[in-house]
Amino acid sequence: MYQEVSKLILYRDLGEDSILFRLAKIFEDFDEGTVHKADLTTRIYVEMKRLLDLATAYGFDTNLWHNYLAFLLISNENSFSITCEKVGANDGTVNRFAKGDFKIFKRLFDFDFSTIERALDIDCFSTITHYQAIAKKERMYNKNVSEKVQEVSRQIEAAKDEEDIFRIVTDFYRAYGVGVFGLNKAFRIRHLEEGIEFCPINNTDDVMLDDLIGYEIQKKKLRDNTEAFVQGRQANNVLLFGDSGTGKSTSIKAILNEYYSQGLRMIEIYKHQFQDLSTIIAQIKNRNYRFIIYMDDLSFEEFEIEYKFLKAVIEGGVETKPDNVLIYATSNRRHLIKETWNDRSDMEHGDGGEIHRSDTMQEKLSLVHRFGVTISFSRPSQKEYFEIVKELAKRYDGIRLSEEELCQEANKWELSHGGISGRTAQQFINDLAGRVRE
């Protein structure tokens, strides 16, 4: 195994600490006979534990060894895989090196572990290649990644040679991409001393825009802008503003689900991370995806100055914002920034002389003008609220109240649960569905 792994070229930067490289070193020591068998067994068990942890995190099953190798192929970002993401393979000399690596991976897929198992009196390799995973709830692992890895694993198992694997892997790169951006829809970021880290958000809501009842004009504006964006046409930054519970955040999540297959990805950030915006954009501007930087419940108090970072990135900075990045934000405030009566008074007298407060207010309000599309989500009328309740009730077989009874109960609910909104309607239906057996 060590001789095979050492010959990798494009896919060799897996890290000396990777399971594959550590196992390869164990097999080298086994072949040379320079290490005690008990020590080899212990080292193998350490790697088996790491493999099982990875399998649990991603919901691998059946053949964990094959799943792991497939995971390496579709997650490793190298000069070949990044070039192929979202466009597939092109003619070039690099394909020869890629096929050489895929030939090695094919031999790793078919590797015979029986010799070392007999010599060390272990059966862990046989166990992981005939594995039956315990059924887990979807939110306990990344189902989206798990399904893709296992499908690629099965295809490579059936591949005849490196030519077949080349087609399988590059088709995957073209369809989804590679690495963390290829395997995941949405991300948060973590600030590190040396930069930032993209942290995948597992199991995002599967909501679609059609699941949001009403707001047809708003949904169309959002869909039209996003569709233009993913198709490479001109599109605008978007601000969704209005009453709480009206579906602003739900609409953003739905847009991600509807256009993920077309290369849309989302990065959620918070106010205290705005100083990292330039770094984020620098790391994604050359990737073959369309990124929405998402800011939920965006607003600023009078004393907060983070909005200046946002203004500079959206428009007005020295470096032009790349074509593959847009900013979508939701807010309960139309102008994002809390206004005071002092803001409206043009003059302030102080020790430093007179200050034109209107200049300060205009600077704050100019942030909103940097969103080319603004979409208002207003609180529904009582009639619209009842329509939302009735449509939601149809999705639950156990709810058998008449429309009149349903509206009466919905009216009672909203009076004590925050007033009329789509969120209140969903909470009422959730409560009703939970009490069906009663």
- Interstrand relation of 186-192 and 195-200 (parallel, antiparallel or unpaired): antiparallel
Q: What's the burial of 98, exposed, middle or buried (CB within 10 Å: 0-12/13-18/19+)?
A: buried
Average pLDDT over residues 301-323: 66
Residue 60 has phi, psi (to 5 degrees) of -70, 155
Q: What band does 354 get if pLDDT is binned at 50, 70 and 90? A: very low
Angle at 162 between CA 156 and CA 163, to 5 degrees: 100
Q: Which residue in the block uniquely carries the two structure tokens 């499908």?
A: 151
Q: Which of 20-24, 104-108, 307-311, 433-437 has the lowest mean pLDDT?
A: 307-311
pTM: 0.79
Q: What band does 341 get if pLDDT is binned at 50, 70 and 90? A: very low
Average pLDDT over residues 96-101: 95
For residue 353, pLDDT beyond 50: no
Stronger pLDDT, 332 or 303, i.e. the higher one: 332
Determine the pLDDT at residue 198: 92
Determine the pLDDT at residue 201: 86
Q: For all residues of the chain together, what is the average pLDDT?
A: 85
User: For residue 243, which amino acid is it?
Assistant: D
Q: What band does 59 get if pLDDT is binned at 50, 70 and 90? A: confident
How crowded is the C-beta side of 189, counted as CA atoms within 13 Å?
Answer: 26
Determine the pLDDT at residue 145: 81
For residue 169, pLDDT beyond 60: yes
Average pLDDT over residues 262-267: 93
For residue 43, pLDDT beyond 90: yes
Element (H, E) at 220: helix 216-230
Q: What percent of the chain has pLDDT over 90?
A: 43
